[in-house]
């Protein structure tokens, strides 16, 4: 019988209103890379939080290297040699790499005083052994995202972890950094570590994992040898039905330029220039994708276009009209639609009902308001009922349901429905499928393409390169606030875009 | 099991309704007050006798009825309700208006000035004074709103500071009014008074006056603006989620500035009504009347809704009127402040109750799952 590094048997964990894990079993061999696959909300993170001691299970048992254990809190997990690399890094920005790594278990000399040189030596040894090149003396704020992740990995190694959990580690990386991470994972395995990889990206599983356990809606679906299955098989296990990867898309028939951005410069709230001298045109009937790693000015570009942030320099034209200095409301009236990146923050008022949310951009106009400024709730409800029907929004109490009580996918549908129903000339779409399940993703992508075919000009910002490649007709790659190059979708490969995302101009045709 | 289910849904229903919570909280406040009185060796029954008398005018000890108490209770309620509306209106737009007191004082001051110096034409005189009070309140609040909206100055800080400016500005102005001594001015001309002879007749010469109608109009207006107009829609959206409102094109800067102005107008009206309705002469204030501060509590108890704020204001007015009666029955009047304070504390504990509810729900779910597991 082969030895299991981790055995979690019949784990059940409930939260108010949800069963996050329902009799889930996970068995991970020693020295393997084991992928944990599932959609958002399938219970992956809950299961791993139980293993890491952040939650306690309602029932079930956990064995680590054959010993029955009770992981009450993360300290117990650390003692057992379990480490976790979180999706959002937990680094102190103005500490050095070494200081970050030793934080909480600082080495001391015999006088009880912090001995950083000892720590640095150990960090250097570890990074050489596992191929994690990073300067121990560098400030955390000065290193790249990929290097920050390595610091997180070093943190776990410094604490002698031999089981390392990676929570969606590739979400913030460029394609090249992803390749490097895959190499690091293999190296860790060779050096005797056991890896659990939480992900919903099938490619990565095929590339690096030995076995894969699939969860769906909190239930255990199965564990497979990755070599024996195709991506298609994994997707079906994950979703529970056949999935189509490719999107049916007719060639675009671009018309006149609808959105023209000329030499745009935008600062963030603190005053740093985040978008610098950026120019891009979007024509009617085409989708232009903005590809780039998170934090390269995408958000500020959208803020500048929508009017949420003032434009420092440059101009924005909608259908030939200069809107650079117009208010947000005037821009909306000129035909600017916006599906925002952050649904909770910008997209919806969660205390408002669906019908109030559907009218939030034109409530002050007839038929929702009359000339005396009085609201017509009935018209709002009728409109919302139509949208609920048309966009298949699942709401418990119909148009009166508070938006905050909807699932993420249905919230996004409300926003998409609202924006589309306003018939914008230009539609800005940011991260439209983030955090949604496969069904909703398919639906929303179809809708976006349908809007393109209706002759809307669409600017799509996404951190998922797959989404950009699948949906867009032209791709503008953004790096450090400027467009590196704009290519036709069929004239460029993911690899080339990846290089440009990292700032290299070499791939420019 | 079935019974437990019912309990749970009952508790959930109670906790889901803000109105029921407010009622429970008020009852709890009175319960604690009762225990406190008993602990200091007085008879709690006397407190309820005083409350009954301020509410109905019926003196249970000697069986006499005096409807004047009803009138006084209602008259005391008017400024509480209006200052409550002031706090509530700002709260619905996501602002914390601690400046109700200052806006109230400014309204009071301007009403006194116009009452003493304005044209002595019947009706027009007091109308002018009241509109002056509303206008200065709106300006006093609007300044804060503009500072907040344009320059992100915290409304909490600026309103607190304006409260003191108001108090001393009011003293400076009122000391220059005709017949001013260190505490009062000359008597108003008849045309400035809000006295309502009908009210006087039916409430046995209480101070209840035309301000009562103005309060009712204000409550209706509050509800109408908030719920029925596009202005209110934009304000509610701003209050719930400022960023989403801005992103949707709602002019949040305008909403914030305007909401503070309207909030100030309610408090200014309260000042005007107190100045012209409850007194026959102008006062040179040496301290604050505290209606503005109590308005914060009134809005909290009333959940910032029009009806809730009105009911909470009546409660506070009744307690204020009961104070003197309590003292005559050997109950320290401070007990009413304790009860008011406890009510506010308990309201603040609502989120704690919500947590308890979540915990209960979770345990319920776990039990059910365990049961299913056993059944399998």
A252-266 per-position pLDDT tens digit: 889 999 999 999 999
Identify whether residues A398 and A418 lie together within a single domain.
yes
Residue A281 lies in a domain: yes
pLDDT at residue A507, as a whole number = 44
Looking up residue A124, the CATH number of its domain turns out to be 3.40.50.300
Identify whether residues A141 and A219 lie together within a single domain.
yes
pLDDT at residue A53, as a whole number = 86
Model confidence at B374: pLDDT above 60: no
Domain boundary among A368, A401, A422: A422
- Residue from B15, B249, B364, B365 to probe the interface with A (highest A Cβ count within 10 Å): B249
Identify whether residues A54 and A167 lie together within a single domain.
yes
Identify whether residues A223 and A124 lie together within a single domain.
yes
pLDDT at residue B159, as a whole number = 94
Model confidence at B261: pLDDT above 90: yes
pLDDT at residue B292, as a whole number = 93
Helix intervals (H) in B118-210: 124-151, 155-175, 197-202
Residue A199 lies in a domain: yes
Residue A23 lies in a domain: yes
pLDDT at residue A358, as a whole number = 95
Distance from the A301 Cα atom to the nearest Cα atom in chain B, whole angstroms: 14
Identify whether residues A230 and A295 lie together within a single domain.
no
Residue A342 lies in a domain: no
What pLDDT digit, counting tens, does each position of A110-150 carry?
A: 787 888 888 888 889 988 888 888 888 888 888 888 888 89
A116 and A100 in contact (C-beta within 8 Å)? no
Residue B280 lies in a domain: yes
Q: How far is CA A191 from the centre of its chain?
A: 30
Which residues of A fall within a CB distance of 8 Å from B228?
Answer: 374-375
Q: How many domains does chain A have?
A: 3
What pLDDT digit, counting tens, does each position of A347-403 carry?
A: 999 899 999 999 999 999 988 999 899 999 999 999 999 999 998 888 878 899 899
Distance from the A425 Cα atom to the nearest Cα atom in chain B, whole angstroms: 16
Residue A488 lies in a domain: yes
pLDDT at residue A509, as a whole number = 42
Residue B46 lies in a domain: no
Which residues of A fall within a CB distance of 8 Å from B233?
Answer: 356, 363-364, 375
Non-local (6+) Cβ contacts of A155 within 8 A are: A83, A100, A101
pLDDT at residue A439, as a whole number = 74
pLDDT at residue B2, as a whole number = 38
Q: How many other CB atoms are found less than 10 A from the CB of residue A93?
A: 10
A395 and A354 in contact (C-beta within 8 Å)? yes
Contact A326/B at CB under 8 A: no
Name the closest residue on chain A to residue B355, using Cα atoms: A16
Q: How many domains does chain B have?
A: 1
Residue with tokens 């034109």: A362
Q: Where would I find the beta strands (DSSP E) of chain B?
A: 58-59, 64-65, 184-187, 281-283
Identify whether residues A44 and A177 lie together within a single domain.
yes
Residue B332 lies in a domain: no
B178 and B116 in contact (C-beta within 8 Å)? yes
pLDDT at residue B6, as a whole number = 45
pLDDT at residue B372, as a whole number = 54
Residue A232 lies in a domain: yes
Where does the pLDDT of residue B11 fall: very low under 50, low under 70, confident under 90, or very high at 90 and above?
low
Domain with B121, as residue range(s), is 76-304
B264 and B87 in contact (C-beta within 8 Å)? no
Distance from C-alpha of A410 to C-alpha of A391, rounded to nearest angstrom = 9
Identify whether residues A476 and A380 lie together within a single domain.
no
pLDDT at residue B4, as a whole number = 42
Domain boundary among A185, A207, A239: A239
Residue A341 lies in a domain: no
Identify whether residues A252 and A263 lie together within a single domain.
yes
Distance from C-alpha of B324 to C-alpha of B328, rounded to nearest angstrom = 7
Distances (CA, A) of B265 to B101, B162, B235, B259, B262: 12, 15, 16, 10, 5
Model confidence at B362: pLDDT above 70: no
For this complex, say whether ipTM is above 0.85: no
Number of alpha helices (DSSP H) and beta strands (DSSP E) in chain A: 16, 20
Model confidence at B376: pLDDT above 50: no
pLDDT at residue B369, as a whole number = 58
pLDDT at residue A245, as a whole number = 63
Which residues of B fall within a CB distance of 8 Å from A332?
Answer: 248-249
Q: What is the mean pLDDT of residues B350-366?
A: 71
Nearest Cβ partner for A351 among B240, B243, B246: B240
Identify whether residues A231 and A258 lie together within a single domain.
no
- The percentage of chain B sitting over the pLDDT mark of 90, rounded to a whole number, equals 68
Subunit contact A350:B240, Cβ cutoff 8 A: yes
Domain with A390, as residue range(s), is 350-422
Identify whether residues A231 and A287 lie together within a single domain.
no
Q: How many other CB atoms are found less than 10 A from the CB of residue A337?
A: 25
Domain boundary among A239, A257, A274: A239
Give chain A's residues under pLDDT 70: 1-2, 16-17, 244-246, 505-509
Identify whether residues A468 and A373 lie together within a single domain.
no
Where does the pLDDT of residue B32 fall: very low under 50, low under 70, confident under 90, or very high at 90 and above?
very high
Residue B8 lies in a domain: no
Residue B36 lies in a domain: no
Identify whether residues A80 and A18 lie together within a single domain.
yes
């Amino acid at each position: 019988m082969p030895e299991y590094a981790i055995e979690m048997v019949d784990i059940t964990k409930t939260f108010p209103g949800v069963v996050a894990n329902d009799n889930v079993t996970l068995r991970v061999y020693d020295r393997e890379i084991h992928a944990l696959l599932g959609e958002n909300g399938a219970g992956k993170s809950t299961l791993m939080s139980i293993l890491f001691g952040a939650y306690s299970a309602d029932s079930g048992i956990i064995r680590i290297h054959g010993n029955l254990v009770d992981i009450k809190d993360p300290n117990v997990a650390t003692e057992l040699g379990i480490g976790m690399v979180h999706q959002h890094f937990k680094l102190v920005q103005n500490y050095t790499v070494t200081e970050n790594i030793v934080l909480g278990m600082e080495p001391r000399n015999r006088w009880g005083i912090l001995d950083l040189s000892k720590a640095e030596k150990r960090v250097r040894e570890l990074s050489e052994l596992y191929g994690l090149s990073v300067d121990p003396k560098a400030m955390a704020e000065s290193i790249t995202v990929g290097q920050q992740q390595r610091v997180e990995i070093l943190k776990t190694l410094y604490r002698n972890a031999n089981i390392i959990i990676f929570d969606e580690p590739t979400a913030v990386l460029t394609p090249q950094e992803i390749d490097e991470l895959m190499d690091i994972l293999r190296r860790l395995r060779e050096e005797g570590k056991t890896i659990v990889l939480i992900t919903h990206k099938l490619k990565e599983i095929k590339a690096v994992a030995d076995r894969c356990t699939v969860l769906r809606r909190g239930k255990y679906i199965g564990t497979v040898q990755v070599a024996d299955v195709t991506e298609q098989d994994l997707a079906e296990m994950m979703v529970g039905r056949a999935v189509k990867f490719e999107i049916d898309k007719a060639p675009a028939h671009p018309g006149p330029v609808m959105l023209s951005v000329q030499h745009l410069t935008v600062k963030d709230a603190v005053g740093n220039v985040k978008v610098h001298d950026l120019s891009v045109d979007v024509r009617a009937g085409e989708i232009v994708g903005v590809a780039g790693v998170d934090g390269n000015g995408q958000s500020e570009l959208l803020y500048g276009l929508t009017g949420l942030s003032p434009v420092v320099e440059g101009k924005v034209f909608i259908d030939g009209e200069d809107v650079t200095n117009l208010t947000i409301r005037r821009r909306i009236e000129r035909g600017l639609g916006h599906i925002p990146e952050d649904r909770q923050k910008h997209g919806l008022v969660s205390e408002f009902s669906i019908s109030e949310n559907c009218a939030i951009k034109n409530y002050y106009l007839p038929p929702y308001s009359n000339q005396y400024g009085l609201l017509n709730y009935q018209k709002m409800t009728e409109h919302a009922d139509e949208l609920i029907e048309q966009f298949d929004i699942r709401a418990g109490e119909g148009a009166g349901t508070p938006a905050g009580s909807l699932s993420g996918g249905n919230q996004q549908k409300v926003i998409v429905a609202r924006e589309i129903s306003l018939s914008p000339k230009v539609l800005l779409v940011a991260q439209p499928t983030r955090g949604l399940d496969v069904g909703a993703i398919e639906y929303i992508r179809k809708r976006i393409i349908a809007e393109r075919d209706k002759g809307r000009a669409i600017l799509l910002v996404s951190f998922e390169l797959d989404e950009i490649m699948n949906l867009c007709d032209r791709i503008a790659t953004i790096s450090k606030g400027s467009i590196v190059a704009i290519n036709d979708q069929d004239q460029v490969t993911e690899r080339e875009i990846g290089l440009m995302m990292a700032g290299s101009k070499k791939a420019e045709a | 099991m079935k019974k437990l289910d019912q309990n749970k849904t009952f508790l959930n229903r109670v906790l889901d309704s803000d109105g029921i919570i407010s009622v429970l909280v008020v009852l709890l406040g009175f319960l604690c007050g009762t225990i406190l009185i008993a602990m200091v060796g007085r008879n709690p029954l006397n407190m309820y006798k005083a409350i009954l008398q301020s509410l109905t005018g019926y003196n249970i000890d000697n069986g006499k009825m005096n409807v004047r108490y009803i009138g006084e209770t209602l008259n005391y309620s008017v400024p509480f309700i209006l200052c409550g509306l002031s706090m509530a209106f700002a709260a619905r737009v996501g602002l914390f208006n601690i400046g109700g007191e200052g806006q109230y004082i400014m309204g009071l001051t301007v009403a006194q000035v116009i009452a003493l110096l304005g044209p002595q034409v019947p009706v027009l005189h007091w109308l002018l004074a009241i509109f002056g009070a509303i206008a200065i309140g709106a300006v006093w609040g609007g300044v804060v709103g503009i500072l907040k909206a344009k320059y992100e100055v915290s409304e909490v800080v600026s309103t607190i500071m304006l409260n003191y400016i108001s108090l001393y500005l009011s003293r400076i102005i009122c000391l220059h009014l005709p017949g001013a001594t260190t505490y009062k001015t000359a008597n108003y001309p008849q045309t400035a008074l809000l006295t309502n002879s009908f009210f006087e007749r039916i409430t046995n010469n209480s101070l209840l006056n035309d301000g009562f109608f103005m309060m009712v109009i204000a409550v209706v207006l509050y509800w109408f603006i908030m719920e029925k107009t596009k202005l209110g829609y934009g304000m509610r959206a701003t209050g719930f989620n400022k960023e989403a409102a801005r992103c949707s094109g709602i002019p949040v800067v305008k909403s914030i500035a305007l909401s503070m102005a309207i909030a100030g107008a309610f408090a200014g009206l309260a000042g005007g009504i107190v100045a012209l309705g409850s007194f026959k002469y102008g006062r040179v204030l040496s301290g604050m009347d505290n209606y503005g501060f109590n308005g914060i509590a009134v809005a909290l108890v009333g959940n910032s809704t029009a009806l809730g704020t009105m009911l909470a204001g009546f409660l506070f007015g009744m307690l204020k009127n009961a104070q003197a009666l309590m003292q005559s029955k050997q109950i320290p009047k401070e007990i009413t402040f304790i009860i008011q304070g406890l009510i506010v504390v308990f309201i603040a504990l609502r989120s704690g109750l919500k947590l308890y509810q979540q915990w209960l729900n979770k345990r319920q779910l776990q039990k059910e799952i365990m049961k299913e597991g056993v059944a399998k």
